[in-house]
Amino acid sequence: MSMTNNYELYKVFYWAAKAGSLTQAAKALYLTQPSVSHAIKQLEDRMGVTLFYRNAKGVALTQEGKILFSYIEQSQILITLAEEKMEALKNLESGELRIGGSDSLFKHYLLPFLEDFHVRYPSIKLHLKHGTTPEVISYLKEGRIDLGVVRMPIVDSHLEVTESTRIQDCFVAGERYAELKGQTMTMEELMEYPIILFSRNSRVRMAITELFEKYGYELKPDIEVGSVDLLIEFARRGLGISFVTREFVSKELKEGSLFEIELDVGIPASKVGVMNMRNMPLSTAATKFMELVR
């Protein structure tokens, strides 16, 4: 007997026992009474026991029937709860959204989208997992997050990456280096000053290192830090010239506590992408979030 056939027979048995009437069970299941009677007979034949006996009101469970019902009732309750849970997930009345990325992308790029999503779907729990790009890719492949927000390019056949926005990196300094305002500097001239860079394994660090190497220079930082906030603060306090994302220091540039240093070579723009596992269906929550950031 197949599992599907089993389930259908148990379903008929459950409703007949619950209603105490084959007629009422037929109405609940949108079947004919003969179909219900046949299903009960099939189940009894396959189990080799009698499950019901007739009485003045309809049918009642035998002792064997009561034992079977105690198990089937639990399964039906779980199935009902599962259906209700799926409906809640579909309607975003329940569930969670797990996103991996760097602290800087969370704070300076993703925060408005997270706020918008939370306002729209307050019942969805948000879980943010910090990590470098390689770590975020691992989290995604291990099923620990639903989406990853990273700098592109990402070359991995198992991942699908959707470009979300473009950002521009630049060098900035504080008032201690005010004499550099309005100047266009060469790479060689810039390297005469203390340089502050993000940690070695970050995508932004690799990008600026590769750019300098392209022109024959080895960019060695005087200070390495692990957060964008420190890059900003160190530059603001005059500890050196920081390489940061322009969009992340818009406030400081506008108020004048930092200024941008122009180079005589262009710094390519960076792309931010949202990645997910290829050929793996997204949850309703993840799909809705993707619609916001596209």
To the nearest whole number, what is the mean pLDDT of the chain? 92
Taking 70 as the threshold, does the pLDDT of residue 1 lie above it? no
Write 60-68 long-range contacts (CB < 8 A, 24+). 60/20, 61/17, 65/17, 68/13
Distance CA 197, CA 205 (A): 7
Taking 50 as the threshold, does the pLDDT of residue 204 lie above it? yes
Distance CA 230, CA 244 (A): 10
Find the mean pLDDT for residues 199-223. 91
- Do 98 and 67 form a contact (C-beta atoms < 8 A)? no
Q: Does an H or E element contain 137, and which?
A: helix 133-141
At residue 5, the pLDDT reads 60
Taking 50 as the threshold, does the pLDDT of residue 98 lie above it? yes
Domains along the sequence of the chain with CATH: 3-90 (1.10.10.10), 103-162+278-293 (no CATH), 169-268 (3.40.190.10)
- Do 215 and 187 form a contact (C-beta atoms < 8 A)? yes
Taking 80 as the threshold, does the pLDDT of residue 192 lie above it? yes
**Residues contacting residue 131 through CB under 8 Å, at least 6 positions apart:** 100, 101, 102, 138, 139
- Do 124 and 89 form a contact (C-beta atoms < 8 A)? no
At residue 6, the pLDDT reads 82
Find the mean pLDDT for residues 194-207. 88
DSSP 8-state assignment for residue 247: G
Q: How confident is the model at residue 294 (pLDDT cuts 50, 70, 90)?
A: confident
